[in-house]
Amino acid sequence: MPAFNDTAETGEVPHRGNFPRFLALLLLAVLSVRSFACAPFTIPSESMLPTLQNGDYLVAAKWPYGYSRYSLPFNAPLISGKLFPHLPQRGDVAIFRHASDGAEYVKRVIGLPGDIVSMRNGALVLNGQPVPRQRIADFRIAQSPNTPCAWGAVRETGPQGSVICRYVRYRETLPGGRSYDVLDFGATPQDRYGPMTVPDGYVFVLGDNRDNSQDSRFPARPGGGVGLVPASLLVARAGLVLFSSDGSAVWYDPLSWIAATRWHRMGERI
C-alpha cells in the first residue's frame, strides 16, 4: 500500500521545530558578517568634507586591519589583543576607536610608523618632501540641517533661494599616487605643525577638512583631538556610501524622506 502524507488533513506543518534553529543560524550569520566582514557606520561631523558628508551611512571592511574586541558587537571581550594585525596604507579612510573615550572616529591615514609628518602654511610635508597639491574647482554643497556653512565658506544663492556653501579645494597626492580632495578655510594655527616622527605601533591621521578637524595634530582628549592613533584601535576601512541624508526629513512626512535623500551619493566609493 503506497505511503501518503496526512499533514494536509491535519493542517500541521512538518518540522516546526526547525524555525527557531533557522532564526538562530540567521542571527549567527548576521553577527559573523558584521564582526568579520563588513559593517555600517555613520558620519556625524564635517571633518572629512568633501570626501564624506555629515549624514552619510557607510559600509566598511573589517578584515584589512585585523580583528579585536572592537570588531565584535558590544565590544565583547572575546578576542585578546589583535588577530591578524595589518597596518593601513597611506590614504586609507580608517575607522578607529578614540584612545581616551572609546568613541568611533573616521579620518584619513597620512603617516605610518617611521614617517615624519609636518604642516607648513597649510601644506602637508611627509618625510621632508612637500606632498603635491593642486588647486581645483571650489567645492559646493547645499546648506542643510546636517551641513551648515562653516566659517571658511562663501555663501551663495542656489535654486529656489537655497543657500550654497562654497569652499576652496585642493587635490592632494601622496607618495605612491593616492589622490583625494581637501578643503582649506584659510590661515589657522594648525596650518603649522611638527615635524613629528610617527612611533612604532601608531598611525598619523588627518581630516580632509583640514581647518575643521580635531585629528593627530591635536593631543588626544575625550570629545576632542585624537592624537597619534594606536594601530590596535583601528577597526575598519571605509568602502562606499550606502545612503546619505541632508537631515531635513521629519518622521511624520514620508515625502520629506525622499526630498532629504542625497541620491547622487549612494554607491559612491571612498
Residues taking part in catalysis: 47, 107
Instruction: Evaluate whether 38 touches 139 at the Cβ level (below 8 Å).
Output: no
- Rounded to whole angstroms, the Cα distance separating 234 from 96 reads 4
Tell me if residue 225 falls in helix, strand or coil. coil
How many whole angstroms separate alpha carbon 188 and alpha carbon 214?
13
CB 208 within 8 A of CB 49: yes
**Lookup result for grid cell 502524507:** 5
Q: Are 203 and 175 in contact (CB under 8 A)?
A: no
| 88, 215 contact by CB (below 8 A) | no
Coil/strand/helix, residue 132: coil
